[in-house]
Amino acid sequence: MMPIGPLMKEHRLIEKVIAVMREEAEKIQVYNKVDPIVIETIVDFIRMYADRTHHGKEEDILFRDLNNKELSSEHKNTMEELVQEHVWARETTGSLVEAKEDYESGNKGALDKMVALLNKLTEFYPKHIKKEDKDFFIPVMDYFSEEAQDKMLDEFWDFDKQLIHEKYEKVYENLKRKV
Ligand SMILES: [Fe+2]
Ligand SMILES: [Fe+2]
């Protein structure tokens, strides 16, 4: 399997959650209220899976190795755009957390902000994923030999293995704060 195999598979799960986020944004508007737990679960998915697990492998392994290659200007530009887009997604998710906290502290006006941020994220991810799937992942594999691709895939699996521990370290820290 090429190392982009797991990345593309992860895109499919991200798309499914994006569909749920779209539904949630509509529901918030219809009922004029939100279940903060749903927003927390969405944020946890984006931060831990879409960003840490998925963007993590893209940036810390694939893009790191591509940085050592003589990339075409097109691929170089696309990679820079993708990194910037990851930064944007992180910031927008942070704003969603702030809006949720604002709502919980009694500001009902934060509902509209949450809907707007959910809509921004659900518009963003499919475009970002399409750019990677259609214009980037497959062509950039040509910069790597089959052996280098196998090595990258192994590094991906090792990267994933650490994350379950990282995730539950965070669960512990949160729990300690709350109890
Ligand atoms: Fe990405
Ligand atoms: Fe991606």
Residue position matching structure tokens 């990677």: 132
Q: What is the pLDDT of residue 125?
A: 98
Q: How far is the CA of 129 from the centre of ligand 1 (A)?
A: 7
**What are the tens digits of pLDDT across the range 97-129?**
999 999 999 999 999 999 999 999 999 999 999
User: Taking Cα atoms as reference points, which of 169, 167, 166, 162 lies closest to residue 61?
Assistant: 162
CATH for 13 = 1.20.120.520
From ligand 2's centre to the CA of 106, what distance in Å?
36
The pair of structure tokens assigned to 80 is 């820079």
**Rounded to the nearest whole angstrom, what is the distance from the C-alpha of residue 106 to the centroid of ligand 1?**
35
Domain count, the chain: 1
Residues of the chain with pLDDT under 50: none
What is the distance in A from the centroid of ligand 2 to the CA of 66? 15
> 127 lies in which domain range?
4-178
Distance of CA 109 from the midpoint of ligand 1 (Å): 32
**Cα of 175 to ligand 1 centre, how many Å?**
30
What DSSP state is assigned to residue 144?
Answer: S
Q: What ligand is nearest to the CA atom of residue 83? A: 1
Determine the Cα–Cα distance for residues 38 and 108; give it in Å rounded to an integer: 17
